[in-house]
Amino acid sequence: MDICPFRDSDNTGQMSTCQLYRQQLLEKGFCSMKIRKERKDAIEHRRLILLNAQTLFIEHGVEGVTMNQIAKTAGIGQGTLYRRYAHKGEICQDLMKDSSDEICNTIQSYLDQNKDLPLKDRITKALEISFDFIESYSPLLVSIQAPTCEGRQSLYYHSPLYSFMHDVFCNLLNETESATKELSKDTNFIADMILASMNPELFLFMRSERGLTKEEIKDRLVSVYIDPLLV
């Protein structure tokens, strides 16, 4: 005996309300499974893209690899690749995500644990950690900013890493007496200028063409941007 509360009382031969309800549940279940499959496929595609892109970048350099090569090596279509990544800069950014998170955590942890240290020491240490990161990942960072990367300005200046570093330097600069009294409106500008001076391409140029060490670059940044605020 059918005791379903949604059962139609007439016998028209049409699907009952209960049957419709069961069908809707099945359809929803099917859709959910389809979505889960698509998500699983997307995760696997991302893994294949990043794994093969990293291998190609190591072997040929970022500039020596094309999006077509990445797609072929990963065994996926170009359409699948471009739906996830518009250009190599976005792939590089994704490759650096874990490392970017690590540098943010390292800097924040240092600042949290050393609040009583002199301001100059804290700023210098933040710069030191940042330059270590830039030196390790300069090829990927340069690719993110490469002229061939469409939308590169938005990608770089609105990245979580840039936003975090900008906030760090703004907060530190706001501790200076000069910034509090006279330059409070300029801390955003000064932070941007510090980060502009840490541009990966400029960093590599100063290392190779100007012959400066990482420590010399860091010390000169401090003398130009920080020391005048501490007078």
pLDDT score recorded for residue 79? 92
Here the tokens at position 102 are 């690590």
pLDDT score recorded for residue 25? 46
Distance CA 203, CA 87 (A): 23
pLDDT score recorded for residue 145? 57
Predicted confidence (pLDDT) per residue in 12-33, tens digit: 555 555 555 555 545 555 445 5
Distance CA 62, CA 138 (A): 11
Predicted confidence (pLDDT) per residue in 70-105, tens digit: 999 999 999 999 999 988 878 887 887 877 888 999
Of the segments 27-41, 54-68, 151-165, which one has the largest average pLDDT value? 54-68
Query: Cβ-count burial of 226 within 10 angstroms (0-12 exposed, 13-18 middle, 19+ buried)?
Result: buried
**Dihedral of alpha carbons 8, 12, 16, 17, sign:** negative
pLDDT score recorded for residue 211? 95
Predicted confidence (pLDDT) per residue in 169-201, tens digit: 999 998 886 555 555 558 999 999 999 998 888
Residue type, 227: D
Contact 118, 141 (CB under 8 A): no
Predicted confidence (pLDDT) per residue in 119-165, tens digit: 999 999 999 999 998 888 776 676 655 544 444 555 677 788 889 99
Q: Which residue segments constitute the domains of the chain, with CATH numbers given?
A: 17-85 (1.10.10.60), 92-230 (1.10.357)
**13 phi-psi bin (left φ>0, alpha ψ -120 to 50, beta other):** left
Burial code (b: 16+ CB inside 10 Å, e: under 16) for 12-34 equals eeeebeeeeeeeeeeeeeeeeee
Contact 152, 144 (CB under 8 A): yes
Distance CA 175, CA 171 (A): 7
